[in-house]
Structure formats: C-alpha cells, structure tokens
Structure 1
Amino acid sequence: MINNKVLGIILGGGQGSRLYPLTKDRSKPAVPIAGKYRLVDIPISNCINSDIKRMYVLTQFNSASLNAHIKNTYHFSFFSSAFVDVLAAEQTIQSDKWFQGTADAVRQSMHHFLQNDFEYALILSGDQLYQMDFNDMIKKHEESGAEISIATYPVDAKDATSFGLLKTNDENIITSFIEKPGSELLPNWTSDVGDEMKAQGRDYLASMGIYIFNRDLLKKLMDNPNTNDFGKEIIPQAIENHKTLSYQYEGYWEDIGNIDSFFEANIGLTDDVPQFDLYNEKGIYTRARILPTSKISGSILNRAVIGDGCIIQAEKIERSVIGIRSRIGKNSLISNTYMMGNDFYETLEQVAKEKIEIMMGIGDRCYIHNCIIDKNCRIGDDVRINGGTHIDDIETDTYMVKDGIVVIKKDATIAKGTIIG
C-alpha cells in the first residue's frame, strides 16, 4: 500500500562538521549506526512503515557512499510507483550555487518534486533517531485544516537553547516561534506539555525539524529566493499568515548532531530495555547482506550488541555495539565502545600474499574503553585505548579525541603496543 497523498523529502544536512571525523569521507545520512544500519535508514524506514514510499534524499557533501547504499537497499516492485531517489546539489539555469540551507535545498529541488502528484510534502531530517507513525500526524494535519504542521518535542531548560521553541493555543495552533533563544528568554517560553513531561522538567516545546506542508503553500513559499532556512526564516514568517499545527511527540527522539550524542545513542542500544527499540514488528530496514552468523569463542558478553558475520575471541565485551564482520582477538577487553565493523573480509591467503602485519579488527590482549572505531580499522596487539574526560581533545592522522571519546578514523592502522589515554 502506498500513501499517494504524501511525498517524503529527507534533508541530508550540510558538511556535518560536528560529526567529524565520521563525516570526513561520507555524508551524515551515510554514517553507520547500531552496527548494521545507516542514519538515513531511520527516516526512510519511518516513511515505509507509514506507507509513504515515494521519497527524495537531498544531499551535497560526500554523497557517493550514500548513493551506493540507497541503490543497493531500497528496491520496490517494477509495477509500483514507490522509489527512494538521491538528489545531490546540481547546477541549473535557475541556480549555480550549492544548497544555502534547508529551505534552499528544497527550493532548488522543487522541479523534481512537482513532477509527482501529491497533496502534502513531509520534510524530515536525515540525522535523527526515532520511530514515528507519520499517519497520525498527517491525520491531525488534515482534521485541523492546517497548512503547515510541525512535530514538536518537550525538552528541559538545558536543551531548550539548542532548538527552535514555540508556543501554542488551546487547539495546538502555533502562535509564536523563536530559534535557539538565550537562557534569559526561557521563562517566557514554557508550554502546557502534560503532567508526565512537567514532572521531568520538560516544559518547553521544541521543533523536531519534521514538517508537513500543503503542496500549494510549499510551492508559494519556495518562490521567495531570500529565505534559505526553515527554522530561522520560513517557519517564523509563515506562522503569522498560515495556520500552523503543533504535533506533540513524546516517544524516544535523539538529534544525532555531534560525536557525544551519536556515541550515547549507540551505546544506549545495549540497555536491557533500550529507549530506541529495534525489537518490534515495524523495525528499521537496511541493506540485506548475505553474511554468516557470528562466531564467539571463550568470551564473556554483558550488554553487548553483536552484528552478523563477526569472529570474536575477546575475553570480555561489555556495554558495547560490535558491527558487522568485526574481528576481535584473544584476551582483549572491550567496554563502552561502538565498533562499526568492516566492509569486507580479509582471507588468510590475502594476509600471507600481501604480508599484512595487522589484520582488520582488534588484535590480541587489547584494552578498548570509551571509543568509536570507524569502518575497516586495524588495531594491533597490546593496544590500550582508555577514553574519558581525563584526555584533552586532540586530532592525529589516525584518531581524534572529542569530549573524552576516542574516535579511530576510517581505514586507520593503530600500531602494536600503542597507548591512547
């Protein structure tokens, strides 16, 4: 079944500098998450689970791996109108510039969108972790007669200054909006968020960056070339003249904006009952790989998430996510770590022929704590990586320390006996 009223538009974001070095060679939506997925799988899966199966993903930075992932993952019936297409920034007669913001990305791509028949444009971010049934939001949008709907999320004072905040009337119609207010302004921006949210101190309604626009209004708003961003310009201006509904969401939602939030979101998956629940019928879709089951020998596993095709001989793995095709050697201790895994296997014949001294994965007798290990890394025997707040931020050719988290860069080799932290 396809919801033909709605067209999904997923914003791939800009350069992703706050997620560097994970975005050094890939766009934000292509960053691996949870050991087997990519960030872009989250909004696409939410759309598919809501019967929205016509989607565009807008991107302009390092889009090659994103293109490959989407091409190899999302195949629909030849007799269906369903699709997931990547639209990279392109030079046209109307514009020869890169996307200047979220609204400008939509503006420059409007000629592609308008080739489709739809009533509503559902605009999503490509770097958020959540599960939402968009049908309920669309239903309330229609019932209210709104021209715009914004998904909103109750936040506390600590987080409120990082978001666009809004206030509503008794019918959940937005009456005012402010982008990232200073803390001195917060007393004027509290909202009626319900008893449970109030008990948690989450008194402010933040925009989640998830929007529904009526087709005709979006087309009209995009005719103004002087507005480049939804949060800073389009939304504050539109609520004065167009009926804008707040759709309050109180489930799990995490904006994967920086290394710290990315790390915590992944490690959180190891909880007994994780806030982001992958274990349900409406799960997350990703590329179907033909991988063997994981083989684990002599290891103690405690709150560990293990991807397919791994070969593990570690002494202990605790509160860690281990991605596909990972290899971990004997007597190694891994804790509080997200290991993304590998894109391919190295055979013993390759190792011998190419005289590879350090194989992909983690060697013997290693200690790894508070660490993100990007794809295809080689960590030699007797390496000690002890992340934490005791380490200053630093960047080298092979790793980076950010907020106490050690990030081993993609394809990096860490020599035997190296000590970090």
Structure 2
Amino acid sequence: MKLITFVLAGGRVDELGVFTLTRPKSAVPFGGMYRIIDFPLSNLSHSGIDIVGILSQYNPSELIAHIGSGIHWDIAGRGKGIKMLPPYKGVRASDWYRGTADAVYQNLSFINEHSPDYVLIISGDHIYNMDYNDIINFHIEKNAELTIGFVKVPSKEGYRFGMADIGSDGALADYQEKPEKTKYEWASLTIYVFKTDVLIQALKKNAREKSHEFGRDIIPALMKENAKVYGYKFNGYWGYTKTIEEYFATNMDLLGEDPKINLASWGVKTNIYGRYNHDLPPSMFASTADVEDALLGRGCVIRGKVSHSVLGYNVVVEKGALVKDSIVMSDCIIGEGTVIENAIIDENVRIGKNSVIGEKKITCIGKDVVIPDTIRIGAGCVVWPFTRENAFKEKNIAPGTTVGGEEI
C-alpha cells in the first residue's frame, strides 16, 4: 500500500485579521515556539507518512522558510520528503489556485510521479493530535472510495462546517456544506482519504465547473453519484483556530495543571533552527519576576509579572510590567510599568513604559508595531502591522478602535 499526502496550507483566513496580513494561517505562531502547521506535520511524521506536498499560495515566504527541507519532522531523505507546491503562473490569471480542489488538480503530476494507491488530503491549519493510520485503515477496511474525518460539534455551530449524518456502519447518509441550520453534529475535519483513481476522476470532472472546493463541490458530487463515502469519527482534541477567539482559547488550552494540549505527549516537532530559537539562551528571571501558569519560549527576560499567558522566544517583560491572560509572540519588549491583559501581540512589537493594552475583549496588535509611553489602548482595539509612534494621536484609544491600516 502506497500513500502520499497533500497539505492545504495556502489560505489566509480573514477572521484572524492582522495576524494573517503577512502570512497564511498555517504559518501563524502558536504556543510560544511553534507554528500551526507544526501540528499536522508532526502527525504525519508520527504516522510514518513521508511523501508530502505542501499546497501554498498566500504570502508563502514565512511558511517556506519554516518548513525548509522537512528534516525537522524527519520527512527528508532517500525516498521521502516534503515538497512545496506553490501555484505556477501560466499565460492566464486562472492558472493560480482557484480553490482547494483546483490546488490538487494543478498538481496531478505530483500524484503521477509517485503512483500511490491512496491520497491523504489534510488541512495545514488545525491543532490536534491524530495517528492518520487509524483513518487510513478504516478507509481500507470499508473499501471506501472517500473517507472523511469528522469531529463532534454542537449542531448550532454547523453553519461553519461541512456537516454529516453518519450511519452505524460509518457510511455517510447525508452531507451538508455549511448549512444555515442542521440537526447533524459531526463536522468535517478537512481530512480526506481517497482512492487515487476516484480522486483523479473527480478532479477532472470538477475542473470543468466554476467552483473548485472539496467541501462545496467534490464531496456533494460523489454523494450524488452514490460513491462509497464513509465518515471516520475522531474523538480527540481539535482546535479550529479560525477566529481570534478560537485562536486565543486554543493557546490558553496549553496552560493549567492538566492542559488539554499536552505538547510533550503529543510529540510536536518544529524547526528548531528557525530565526526565533537559534542559539538563544534559556529564559532569565530576575529577582523581581513573578511567573505563574505561563508558557515561555527560550531567550525571554522576565523582570515583571506574567500570569496565565503564552510568550514566544526572546520576549522582555520589564520591571513592574504585567502580562495577564495574553499571547505575546517572539521578539517583543513590554516596557516598565505597562499592563497587558486579554491581548494578542504579534512578533517584534515594542511597547513603551506605563501603557495599558486591552481589557475584557481581546485587543490585537500586529507585527512590527511601536507603541509609545503612557498610551491606553481599550478593549477590542486593533493595531495594524508596521504602525509607528506617530500614528497614536491620542493618549487614550477608545475600545473597538483601529489604529494604522495603511496598505501593506
């Protein structure tokens, strides 16, 4: 049995706002030292799946630099490897990827190169721990043409997902793509196992259509043809991280005495030689430091207080500062006496002294921002990437305000 994998990693996801203006969602930092794509790549590594194509499109430079040769996930060497598959521009603009199905269709040569029996297609931007051999073996046992991974969600959330009615034998009785209302509770994980010939035939048929998505087009077409479509029920943790609130909550699931996301037992791998962690010393805690229930990357210098928060690499929290219920990504400096609460702060942000950032609703600060001293930024505010001190015209930024916003 031979299998290859496509990882869908090119989407931006508008709901994550300033954090995906300069990178795809799959490359967004997560958990202090990781990026979101590290989780599905680690799953592939632990599952022994070692022929992988990464379908990238939107602002892929950070993603490409992070993945490199694939050696950090042990997916490199003779007969195995990770291959970046960006769209190639031909004579027509339509040669760019027009959807998830079109992305795979444009790379049929990758399938033909390896001649697999099965093709696994997964999203590169979800947080979960899965042995893909379980769904693959389920697919083979059922002699299915397509098997889809599902997780249980409240039916009221069904409008956000592909929802299914799964029979007692695992066969799909019905599938609805993002229905306005549904009674079903099983949501698609965007994990698909195809028989190769079925996938190729479905993609070639779909290429003649105007829409090219697996959930919206390929799955309903196969259901209409009475193909053997099955649903595999996954009962583990799943972090969707599509909205600011979900991204924040999933990071917070790393904390506590018994975290929902156990990085050690999951065996999550990452690029340990990336620009944020190469040759950094252990974090340093001054005599004035007070740290509780926090996750910190290497190279941090803590002189203030950090409570129930996730910090990336090389973060400085000065004396008298407080970081509470927040996410601070790598290479940030929190000035003396500044209070950060319910905020997400992107990489390379400088915040001056005696400022207050955030309150009850999550405040979002984009990357490469400089905030001057004694600024108060209210709840639910957004500061665009690359905003500088002169953009802060007032000392008090009202809740819900957007600062900056020049085109990047």
Q: Do these two structures clear the TM 0.5 threshold for a shared fold by scoring above it?
A: yes
1:328-369 CA distance string (max 9 Å, x none): 111101101100112xxxxxxxxxxxxxxxxx5111111000
- SS of the aligned residue for 2:269 comes to coil
Distance 1:215 1:93, change over 3 A: farther
2:203 equivalent in structure 1: 222
- SS of the aligned residue for 1:115 comes to helix
Residue 406 of structure 1: CA displacement?
A: 4.8
Mapped pair 1:251 → 2:226: no
**Is contact 2:47-2:132 (8 Å) kept?**
yes
1:367-420 CA distance string (max 9 Å, x none): 0001111011111111111232498x99999599x9955555555556899555
Residue 93 of structure 1: CA displacement?
A: 7.2
| Partner amino acid, structure 2, of 1:305 | L
Indicate which of 20, 39, 43 corresponds to 1:42.
Answer: 39
Indicate which of 39, 57, 61 corresponds to 1:60.
Answer: 57
1:147 equivalent in structure 2: 145
Distance 1:64 1:8, change over 3 A: same
Indicate which of 91, 98, 101 corresponds to 1:100.
Answer: 98
- SS of the aligned residue for 2:120 comes to strand
Indicate which of 283, 297, 300 corresponds to 1:307.
Answer: 297
Matched residue pairs, number? 380
Name the TM-score, length of structure 1 as normaliser: 0.83
| Residues 303-382 of structure 1 aligned to structure 2 (within 5 Å) | 303-314=293-304, 316-342=305-331, 360-382=332-354
Q: Distance in 2 between matches of 1:54 and 1:175?
A: 32
Distance 1:291 1:229, change over 3 A: same
Mapped pair 1:15 → 2:12: yes
Which deviates more, 267-276 or 143-152? 267-276
Q: Distance in 1 between matches of 2:111 and 2:281?
A: 40
Distance 1:5 1:265, change over 3 A: same
Q: Distance in 1 between matches of 2:323 and 2:245?
A: 19
**Is contact 2:18-2:366 (8 Å) kept?**
no
Mapped pair 1:213 → 2:211: no
- SS of the aligned residue for 2:150 comes to strand
- SS of the aligned residue for 1:368 comes to strand
Q: Distance in 1 between matches of 2:106 and 2:180?
A: 32
Q: Distance in 2 between matches of 1:403 and 1:290?
A: 37
Structure 2 unpaired stretches of 5+: 273-277, 372-376, 400-408
2:247 equivalent in structure 1: 262
**Is contact 1:369-1:385 (8 Å) kept?**
yes
**Is contact 1:306-1:322 (8 Å) kept?**
yes
Off by >2 Å, runs of 4+ in structure 1? 13-16, 72-80, 91-97, 386-391, 393-400, 402-421
Residue 169 of structure 1: CA displacement?
A: 2.2
Structure 1 unpaired stretches of 5+: 191-203, 343-359
Instruction: State the Cα RMSD in Å.
Output: 2.9
1:91 equivalent in structure 2: 89
Residue 94 of structure 1: CA displacement?
A: 9.2
**Is contact 1:370-1:405 (8 Å) kept?**
no
Distance 1:388 1:287, change over 3 A: same
- SS of the aligned residue for 1:56 comes to strand
Q: Distance in 1 between matches of 2:378 and 2:201?
A: 43
Q: Distance in 1 between matches of 2:327 and 2:367?
A: 20
